[in-house]
Structure 1
Amino acid sequence: MDIQDKTVIGWREWVRMPALGQAEIKAKIDTGARTSALHAYFVEPFELDGRPWVRFGLHPRQKDTEVQIECEAPVIDQRRVTDSGGHAEMRYVIATTMVLGDQAFDAEVTLTDRENMLFRMLLGRGALKPRFLVDSDQSFLLGGSKFQPPGELNLS
C-alpha cells in the first residue's frame, strides 16, 4: 500500500468493535505498542466446544463504571506483555473486528485492567499497519470529539 493510500488518524480516535457489544471506545494510538490493549475489569477463562474462551467485563467510557458490557471471545493466545513502566503480566489475547472511520479490520487485542489509566484502550501498531498514518498533532480526525463518539447526538 502506497503512503497516499493510507488514512491519516490523530493520536486519539474512537474505535468500535462490533463483536464486543458495539461500544465505541476512545483509544490512544500507541505506535510504541506492538499489540492493542483493552480494559477488562474481570477476566474469566472457560471452554466452549473444547476450545479456550474468555468472558470479561468492559467499561467503555473513561471515568465511568456505570456502563458495563459483558463480552465473550475465543482466546487465540496468552502472552507475557511488558507495559511502558516495565511491569510484565500474562494476558489473554483475542482477535476481534475493529472499525475506525470507514475501515473495518481484524486485530489482536490483549485484555488487561486499565481502570486507572486515562484511556480504556491502546491501539497498537499491529492494528495500524498497513492502513493508517498517525498525525501526532491531531485528534479525532475520523469524527467525534473528546466527549462524543462520531454519530452520537449532542443533546446539550
Structure 2
Amino acid sequence: MNQRIGYPDGETVRIRTATLGDLPDIVRMLADDPLGATREQYRSPLPDTYVAAFSAIDGDPNNELVVLELLGAVKGVLQLTFIPHITHQGGWRALVEGVRVDSGSRSLGLGRRMFDWAIERSRERGCHLLQLTTDKARPEALRFYEDLGFVASHEGMKLRL
C-alpha cells in the first residue's frame, strides 16, 4: 500500500504507511527493550532478512506496516494483519503485532493514537475482532492494552520452530 494514511494533529502527528527508508528506525525501536535486544539485530547495514520481511509485508494486501511520525521523526510502529476465518460466519479479524513507541517518546499518548488508528482501520476492513498478544514480561503493555478495552479472554500459546 503506497498511500498516505493520516491522523494529523495540527500537522505534528501522523500515521502513514512505512517505507523501506523507515526500516532502520523500525528495527531500532524493536531492539530497544530487554526482550527485543535479545532477538533483533540493529546495526548498519541491517541484515537482509529485515528487507525481505519488509518486502513481503509491503506486497501483501492483508498486511499494513505503519509508522507514527511526531514532528517529522518516526516515533512509533505497528503491523496490522487482516485474517479471514471460517468461524464467526466467515468473518475477518485483525491482528496487531510489533507495536513499539520510541523509548524517548513514551507517555505522550502516541501508542493510543496508533491504536485509535488500528481500531478504525480494522472497522474499515470489515473486521469483527481486533486481537493481539503481549509478552507476560511486559506488564506495562498489558495494562496499556487493558486500558484500551482489550480483554484477556484467551490463553495464548506459541511453539518455537
TM-score, normalized by length of structure 2? 0.30
TM-score, normalized by length of structure 1? 0.31
Higher helix share: 2
Higher relative contact order (CA 8 A, sep 6+): 1
Higher strand share: 1
